[in-house]
Structure 1
Amino acid sequence: MNVPLILTDFLDRAVSLYGSKEAIYCDDRTFTYSELNERVNRLSHGLKELGIEKGDRVAYLAPNSVEMLEGFYGIYQLGAIMVPLNIRLKPDDYLFILDHSESKVLFVDQDLYPLIVPIKDKLKTVTSIIVHYKDEETDEIGYDEWLSKQSNQTFERAILDENDVCSLLYTSGTTGNPKGVMLTHRNNYLHALTSMHHLRVSDKDTLVHVLPMFHVNGWGSPFYYTANGASQVCLRKATPETIFYAIEKYKATILHMAPTVLNALMQFYEQNLPVIEHDVRVVIAGSAPPPAFVTRVERELGWEFIQVYGMTESSPLSTISTIRSHLRKLPMKEQYRLKAKAGYPMIGTRVSVVNDLGEEVAHDGKAIGEVVVRGNGVMLGYWKNEQATMETIRDGWLHTGDMGTVDEYGMVDIVDRKKDVIISGGENISSIEVEGVLYEHPDVLEAAVIAAPHEKWGETPHAFVVLREGRTITEQELIAFSREKLAHFKAITGVTFVPELPKTASGKIQKVHLRNDYWEQKGKVSAGKFVN
């Protein structure tokens, strides 16, 4: 008899094999897996009392906390659907998502509750708002008191099929309203099995939850670290100071984060030189870093750098850049170059780079095409949006909108989002390649490159740059630096120095805001640059 792949299996395993282990650390609190399970049961009983049934949506607006972590399992026991909300949106965004998802219950952290106040009387389907860490002035249900009143006895679970939806994750669109990505128990279960293998997760690991759990469930980390009985540190506020403190205090072995967060950690390390004497793996997804950055992480910090690639619609991880055994004979410089790429397909996933005719491009590291993915992680579709689903999933392949190349080793390299490719005089320029060169300059802390309108060439690269503290460099000097390192048509033609770059809650630089503002200031609109 086939056993359905249901995510509650993972906590069951942790309780059975690691029940007495101190496993979850949040602020000054510590929980064993058995204690976590008791809280999960209380949550499930409480939700049932509120009328939540199989298929209902329950939303969370919270940072990384034990309350967020237990939400996944507490909701799934009822067969309900988790709707994690990005903590950096505006009240009207939450109004749209909560109404569109028809969420019935909203759990919100006290620090984020002010974002809900302006819209709570407009919500059409939310019947209960429960506040984590509630203060005395907030007139809502307090989570701790509410949870303490519920039974901690085993909850009678809903009967689920592995193809039932477990998570509804809203992607932040660049135009129009966000789309709700439907991921199933099977999607997340098989993604967990694949990811734990490739990331070598075991019960010896301690994960620091740096990546927000709302962000495609923190790349599935609440599932496969729990399944393996690993310890987990929940950081409600992830700063370089708190991250390094957690690594030292809990002897953390692995962290997931965006490149910009790792960059901030590198700056903190340079200034404070914290001593980390144990092995650490850092898993990065986002724009491909320059090989020199990988070298610094591994040689200065002594951490293993692991680049991965994926998107919400694929659960999310599809590729990984670890060096395969037969390539370890390559010079270290070449290995660092390979580690900076998106990598090769993970088990259970097929990844291809295709041209406009759907034909696979040459594996020469030069031919550019769109990255397409098929496999167990591909979403069920977009919630209430069949048109967008059909446009994104064609002939069984998920079209990512990312442009890439494939080298002779089968390593995919993301060169840009379709909308971020700069077309100058008929030549395609990768903004990521140009950014990689700017990061080589010792005065540059962060850089983002966009297409700027140009009368002769149509578009040319323009850089937004954050300088390191106390450093100065002129626009002309940075332009000259890029011309020394790149073919002249790829070099930047202008620089805007800014104190910071706009980022998502996971730390990804939002180039769409830079581009839209810049083009509006220039009085021009490029329709092709405003596509979601």
Structure 2
Amino acid sequence: MAQGDYDTGLERCPANYQPLTPLTFLRRAAEVFPDRTAIAHGALRRTYAEFYARSRRLASTLVARGIGRGNTVSVLLPNVPAMLECHHGVPMSGAVLHSINTRLDAAAIAFQLDHACSRLLIVDVEFASLAREAVALSSARPPLVLCDDAEFDGPRPEAAAVDYEAMLDAGDPEFDWPMPRDEWDAISINYTSGTTGNPKGVVSHHRGAYLLAQANALTTAMGQHAVYLWTLPMFHCNGWCFPWTLSVVAGTHVCLREVRDAPIWRALAEDGVTHLCGAPIVMSLIDAAPEGARRALTRRVRFCTAAAPPPETLLARMRAAGFEVTHLYGLTETYGPAVVNEWHEDWSDLSSTEQATLNARQGVRYLPLEDLAVMDPGTMRPVPSDGKTMGEVMFRGNVVMKGYFRNEAATRAAFDGGWFHSGDLGVVHPDGYLQLRDRSKDVIISGGENISSIEVEEVLYRHPDIAVCAVVAMPHPGWGETPCAFVELVPGAQADADALRAWCRERLAHYKVPGRFVFDAVPRTSTGKVQKFVLRERAGNLGPDNLA
């Protein structure tokens, strides 16, 4: 044997190699902490032993139906215990979990059912009619399994589907579920927003879900037995992998059917919540709750937010209320968060304005992400770390998707040059921290000059009267395009277009100042993302005569 030859005679075997899968986290939590509360939902409490047994029952019934490796099980569920069980029981059968956005219409759901080749659809009682309409429009025609959640206070449809609890009762709580054959096996498929054309099916694997689930616990400083409040939809990027994360620390999932201020504050006070996630709109909801709904917090609560950075004034109020806010960034294609704004202790000594500037940055790579770069997509070379030169944000590592299901052309384009191309534009600051400037499709080109819509939004968000804003391009007869700002004011605020225009002129180059301010509700997705494609269409229809 040659010196340094550490492979000859040393082979992989079951004793020294097992595929990574987040499903083992639940098994361990049930073995070590069987009586610990795993799930809280209204009056319901389920232990880890019960959680694991019910997930195994689900897996066994799927296998009994002939569902296994290579098959897809779709779910149309809010943040209820059944959704957590599906995140474990479906992949325990070998099948792939397909979580559907509950805000979609029947036609969009039917497209996903067909594209994912769905074999079964598990649906909450609230969405039974929607599911039946979608199945009727689809070619896949998956059978329905109806989940009747006791916390739903609406009307029940006539029974015309398999009952979820009856299906689990027929399952085996000791089911010896198989490990994935390979950690590269698909664990889930999630569909992108599909704002232009049909959405793409993002395929994730067991290895990536395992790594991100562990990284979530480390990044968010989750201690043993953390308590997590489900304000982030689990259908969105599999809840950023947090359905699997809580088992890492034997924590408690606190489920919420709806994101409303009173139930959130009640859970924060009565359930001992330590962590929650959501878009800035969720933060605004918590902050704007009336005095009758608010509760005093006896501990610091970690709030992880993504999308646009929260306004400086909102961050200050959240800190005063007892929240510690962490800014994350990622995409469906990166399992959720893959970048974190790691906070330095000395930053806390800075002024609130300086802290807000630092908080606006997306940050540095997550622990399981091997590479993060901002590059010129033409040359594939990194841009200078000067905080000014824009390039495309690119990712490389084990928490990047397998690819787009049944879409080889889109997959090849996304991975061109050995990197995942996000489509987001950003800069790198001298300290290595990434900051987004725009989506490539959202850049406004006025008289040949590129205007970052995010830059204009950041200036507007500093105005104390603005609650929500979004900036898009609108046609201009002389410059081609000019910014158009859609604004929601803080309740009771009186700012008008002239005041906001003056505010922007003091802080932006003249050509970057919005040519029009529209005071109206800003349309958002169910996950809190602003629907800029809707706003672009509205701005395009305003016409040049309406320019201020």
Q: TM-score range by the shorter chain?
A: over 0.9
Alignment partner of 1:219 is 2:261: no
Of residues 376, 396, 401, the one that matches 2:398 is 376
Letter of the structure 2 residue corresponding to residue 106 of structure 1: L
- 1:335: how far off? 3.9
Distance 1:153 1:126, change over 3 A: farther
Distance 1:467 1:329, change over 3 A: closer
In the other structure, the counterpart of 1:365 is 387
In the other structure, the counterpart of 1:170 is 191
Of residues 49, 54, 57, the one that matches 1:42 is 57
Of residues 341, 349, 362, the one that matches 2:361 is 341
Cα displacement string for residues 160-197 of structure 1 (whole angstroms, at most 9, x for unaligned residues): 21000010011112211010001000111111222222
Equivalent residues of 2:21, 2:180 under 8 A apart: no
Q: C-alpha separation between the residues in 2 aligned to 1:74 and 1:291?
A: 42
Cα displacement string for residues 347-366 of structure 1 (whole angstroms, at most 9, x for unaligned residues): 23211111242221111111
Of residues 113, 117, 126, the one that matches 1:111 is 126
Helix, strand or coil for the counterpart of 1:347? coil
Distance 1:39 1:473, change over 3 A: same
Distance 1:511 1:12, change over 3 A: same
In the other structure, the counterpart of 1:52 is 67
Distance 1:87 1:332, change over 3 A: same
Helix, strand or coil for the counterpart of 1:10? helix
Helix, strand or coil for the counterpart of 1:461? strand
Equivalent residues of 1:192, 1:224 under 8 A apart: yes
Alignment of 1:14-413 (within 5 A): 14-133=29-148, 135=156, 137-157=158-178, 159-268=180-289, 273-298=294-319, 300-324=320-344, 333-349=353-369, 350-355=371-376, 356-413=378-435
Cα displacement string for residues 457-483 of structure 1 (whole angstroms, at most 9, x for unaligned residues): 211111111122233332222222222
Moved more, 398-407 or 472-481: 472-481
Equivalent residues of 1:180, 1:383 under 8 A apart: yes
Equivalent residues of 1:110, 1:131 under 8 A apart: yes
In the other structure, the counterpart of 1:527 is none
Equivalent residues of 1:322, 1:339 under 8 A apart: no
Helix, strand or coil for the counterpart of 1:449? strand
Distance 1:60 1:316, change over 3 A: same
Of residues 428, 432, 447, the one that matches 2:469 is 447
Moved more, 238-247 or 139-148: 139-148
Q: How many residues align?
A: 522
- 1:270: how far off? 7.3
Equivalent residues of 1:283, 1:306 under 8 A apart: yes
- 1:31: how far off? 0.4
Helix, strand or coil for the counterpart of 1:323? coil
Letter of the structure 1 residue corresponding to residue 375 of structure 2: V
Q: C-alpha separation between the residues in 2 aligned to 1:21 and 1:4?
A: 27
In the other structure, the counterpart of 1:529 is none
Equivalent residues of 2:472, 2:539 under 8 A apart: no
Q: C-alpha separation between the residues in 1 aligned to 2:70 and 2:483?
A: 48
Equivalent residues of 1:362, 1:406 under 8 A apart: yes
Equivalent residues of 2:316, 2:352 under 8 A apart: no
Equivalent residues of 1:24, 1:231 under 8 A apart: yes
Of residues 432, 437, 441, the one that matches 1:419 is 441
Q: C-alpha separation between the residues in 2 aligned to 1:489 and 1:102?
A: 50
- 1:73: how far off? 0.8
Q: C-alpha separation between the residues in 1 aligned to 2:45 and 2:177?
A: 27
Equivalent residues of 1:253, 1:281 under 8 A apart: yes
Equivalent residues of 1:59, 1:106 under 8 A apart: yes
Cα displacement string for residues 437-457 of structure 1 (whole angstroms, at most 9, x for unaligned residues): 222223222111111111112
Helix, strand or coil for the counterpart of 1:116? helix
- 1:279: how far off? 1.2
Distance 1:380 1:136, change over 3 A: closer
Equivalent residues of 2:265, 2:294 under 8 A apart: no
Helix, strand or coil for the counterpart of 2:506? helix
Moved more, 505-514 or 435-444: 435-444
Q: C-alpha separation between the residues in 1 aligned to 2:497 and 2:159?
A: 50
Helix, strand or coil for the counterpart of 1:70? helix
Distance 1:393 1:520, change over 3 A: farther
Equivalent residues of 2:121, 2:143 under 8 A apart: yes
- 1:501: how far off? 1.9
Equivalent residues of 2:240, 2:337 under 8 A apart: yes
Task: Output the aligned Cα RMSD.
Answer: 2.0
Letter of the structure 1 residue corresponding to residue 82 of structure 2: E
Equivalent residues of 1:78, 1:158 under 8 A apart: no
Equivalent residues of 2:473, 2:539 under 8 A apart: no
Equivalent residues of 1:102, 1:126 under 8 A apart: no
Q: C-alpha separation between the residues in 1 aligned to 2:69 and 2:179?
A: 7
- 1:315: how far off? 1.4
Cα displacement string for residues 269-310 of structure 1 (whole angstroms, at most 9, x for unaligned residues): 678553112110000111233444433322x22311100111
- 1:144: how far off? 2.0
In the other structure, the counterpart of 2:538 is 517
Helix, strand or coil for the counterpart of 1:120? helix
Equivalent residues of 1:284, 1:305 under 8 A apart: yes
Helix, strand or coil for the counterpart of 1:20? coil
Equivalent residues of 1:453, 1:460 under 8 A apart: yes
Cα displacement string for residues 55-93 of structure 1 (whole angstroms, at most 9, x for unaligned residues): 210001111010000101101111100000011111000
Q: C-alpha separation between the residues in 1 aligned to 2:441 and 2:292?
A: 37
Helix, strand or coil for the counterpart of 2:318? helix
Equivalent residues of 1:191, 1:315 under 8 A apart: yes
